[in-house]
């Protein structure tokens, strides 16, 4: 498996990356960790003419507190999120989810920005960001803007990012002391989730699903049921309402709907505030 030829450009700064994106348009792809893109390129399912390597923008790798939020630079690797004290204290769901992605080698290379920008409905971090009510900062030729995670995932492997924008930062509201759970259902530890559920209970409940549609998505029906006073089990029964999950070797749509209900129930119970 050998990727097709491409032109390789290394960006020295976010602005340079934006400039290169502007210059090359749809022919270009950003390369961060590369662990979503390179396998596709090796199978020749993707053949970008230009790869813009942003892997060295070390100023985009950080985790810091900013008031009521924790901000995470786009190039922060899964492993750094997994072991972050700040996240462990204030957004433990995110740290935990990062530690469940793929396997250790993947976590050493994969970045939160790459994971979100790829927008794969089967990946774990997007669901966590949805459940946590994160917002995403992107920088383009005209400056930066912030996009709510809820508005970010627009279609299968499609996001609200414009072709000339670079995702730079993820802002996560602190959920210190909140109940949380991540239920990842797969057959081997290193595999993608067949279905996953991220849940946060912090007064209100945020519940998001992995691999239950064409995008990472929130379990709105569950959240609404809880808001209107339903019990956990009753709310969980709505986990797949209105969803059209994918079908593959591991699961039919029907089985995914069932798993979503079971896993949401488990997640809500685990995330129940300890009081």
Partner 1 sequence: MTTVEASAGGGPVLGTRLRRREDGALLTGESRFVADLAVPGALHLALVRSPHALARIVDVDVSGALAMPGVVAAFSGADLRDEWAGPLPCGWPVTAEMKQPAHLPLAVERACYVGDAVAVVVATSEYAAHDAADAVTVTYEPLPAVVDLEQALTDEVVVHPELGTNVAYTWELAPDDAAVDAAFASAAHVVDARYVQQRLIPAAMEPRGVLVVPEPFGGSFTVYSATQIPHILRVMLALTAGVPETDLRVVAPAVGGGFGSKLNVYAEEVLALALARRLRRPVRWIEERTENAQATIQGRGQIQHVELAADAEGKVTAVRVRLTADMGAYLQLVTPGIPLLGAFLYSGVYDVPAYSFRCTSVFTTATPTDAYRGAGRPEATYAIERAMDTLARRVGVAPEEIRRRNFIGPDAFPYTSVAGLVYDSGNYAGALDRCLALAGYDALRAEQQRRRAAGGTRQLGIGISSYFEMCGLAPSRVLASLNYTAGGWEAASVRILPTGKVEVVTGTSPHGQGHETSWAMIVADRLGISPDDVDVIHSDTARAPYGLDTYGSRSLAVGGTAVAMATDRVVDKARRLAAHQLEVAEEDLELAGGVFAVRGSPDRTMALAAVAFEAFTAHDLPDGMEPNLEASCHFDPPNFTFPFGTHLAVVELDTDTGKVSLVAYHAVDDCGVQVNPMIVEGQVHGGVVQGAAQALWEEAAYDTEGNLLSATLMDYLVPSAAEVPSITTASTVTPSPTNVLGVKGVGEAGTIGAAPAVINAVVDALSPFGIEDIAMPASPQRVWRAIEDARRRGTHPTSTAATDDTTTQATSTKET
Partner 2 sequence: MRRIEVDVNGSRHVRHVDERRLLSDFLRHDLGLRGTKVGCEHGVCGACTVLLDGAAVRSCLLLAVQVDGCRVDTVEGLAGPEGLHPLQEALHRHHGLQCGYCTAGILMTAVEMAGEAGPHSVEEIKQRLSGHICRCTGYAGIVAALSEVVGS
> What is the binding site for partner 2 (CB under 8 A)?
1-8, 10, 31, 34-35, 38-39, 42-43, 51, 53, 55, 79, 102-106, 108-109, 188-190
Q: Is 32 exposed, middle or buried (0-12, 13-18, 19+ CB in 10 A)?
A: buried
For partner 1, the binding residue among 20, 98, 166, 194 (CB under 8 A) is 194
Residues 103 and 190 sit within 8 Å (Cβ to Cβ): yes
Q: Which among partner 1, partner 2, none contacts residue 234 (Cβ within 5 to 8 A by kind)?
A: none
Query: Which residue lies nearer to partner 2 by CB, 21 or 130?
Result: 21
Least distance CB 252 / partner 1 (angstroms): 7
User: Using a CB cutoff of 8 Å and minimum separation of 24, what contacts does 249-253 make?
Assistant: 250/187, 250/194, 251/194, 251/195
Could you tell me the sign of the dihedral formed by the alpha carbons of 220, 157, 120, 80, in that order? negative
Size of the site for partner 1 (CB under 8 A): 23
Query: Which residue lies nearer to partner 1 by CB, 14 or 250?
Result: 250
- The reply to whether 44 sits near partner 1 by the rule CB under 8 A is yes
Radius of gyration of the CA atoms of the chain, in A: 18
- The reply to whether 22 sits near partner 1 by the rule CB under 8 A is no
Query: Which residue lies nearer to partner 1 by CB, 72 or 98?
Result: 98
Residues 85-104 contacting partner 1, CB under 8 A: 103
CA-closest candidate to residue 72, choices 155, 149, 10, 161: 149
For partner 1, the binding residue among 242, 249, 274, 275 (CB under 8 A) is 249
Least distance CB 178 / partner 2 (angstroms): 26
CA-closest candidate to residue 200, choices 80, 96, 72, 79: 96
Residue 231: CB partners within 8 Å, gap ≥ 6? none
Least distance CB 219 / partner 2 (angstroms): 28
Query: Which residue lies nearer to partner 1 by CB, 13 or 190?
Result: 190
- CA distances (Å), origin 32, targets 10, 18, 162: 11, 14, 17
- Cα angle at 230 between 226 and 232, to 5 degrees? 75
- The reply to whether 252 sits near partner 1 by the rule CB under 8 A is yes
**Chain positions contacting partner 1, by CB under 8 A:** 1-2, 4-5, 43-44, 103, 185, 187-191, 194, 249-252, 255, 258-259, 262-263
């Amino acid at each position: 498996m050998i990727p097709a030829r491409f032109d390789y450009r290394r960006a020295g700064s976010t602005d340079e990356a934006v400039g290169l994106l502007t210059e090359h348009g749809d022919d270009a792809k950003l390369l961060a960790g590369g662990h979503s893109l390179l396998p596709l390129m090796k199978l020749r399912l993707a053949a970008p003419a230009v790869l813009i390597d942003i892997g060295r923008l070390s100023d985009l790798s950080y985790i810091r507190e900013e008031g009521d939020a924790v901000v995470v630079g786009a190039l922060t690797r899964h492993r750094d999120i997994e072991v972050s004290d700040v996240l462990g204290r204030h957004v433990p769901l995110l740290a935990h989810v990062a530690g469940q992605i793929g396997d250790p080698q993947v976590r050493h290379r994969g970045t939160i920005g790459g994971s979100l920008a790829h927008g794969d409905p089967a990946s774990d971090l997007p669901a966590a960001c949805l459940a946590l009510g994160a917002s995403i900062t992107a920088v383009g030729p005209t400056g930066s803007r912030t996009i709510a995670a809820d508005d970010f995932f627009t279609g299968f492997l499609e996001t609200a990012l414009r072709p000339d924008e670079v995702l730079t930062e993820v802002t996560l509201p602190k959920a210190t002391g909140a109940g949380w759970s991540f239920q990842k259902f797969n057959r081997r530890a290193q595999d993608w989730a067949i279905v996953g559920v991220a849940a946060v209970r912090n007064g209100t409940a945020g519940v998001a699903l992995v691999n239950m549609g064409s995008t990472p998505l929130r379990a709105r029906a569950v959240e609404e049921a809880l808001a209107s006073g339903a019990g956990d089990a009753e709310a969980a029964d709505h986990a797949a309402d209105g969803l059209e999950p994918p079908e593959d070797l591991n699961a039919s749509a029907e089985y995914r709907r069932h798993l979503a209900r079971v896993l949401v129930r488990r997640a809500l119970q685990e995330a129940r505030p300890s009081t």
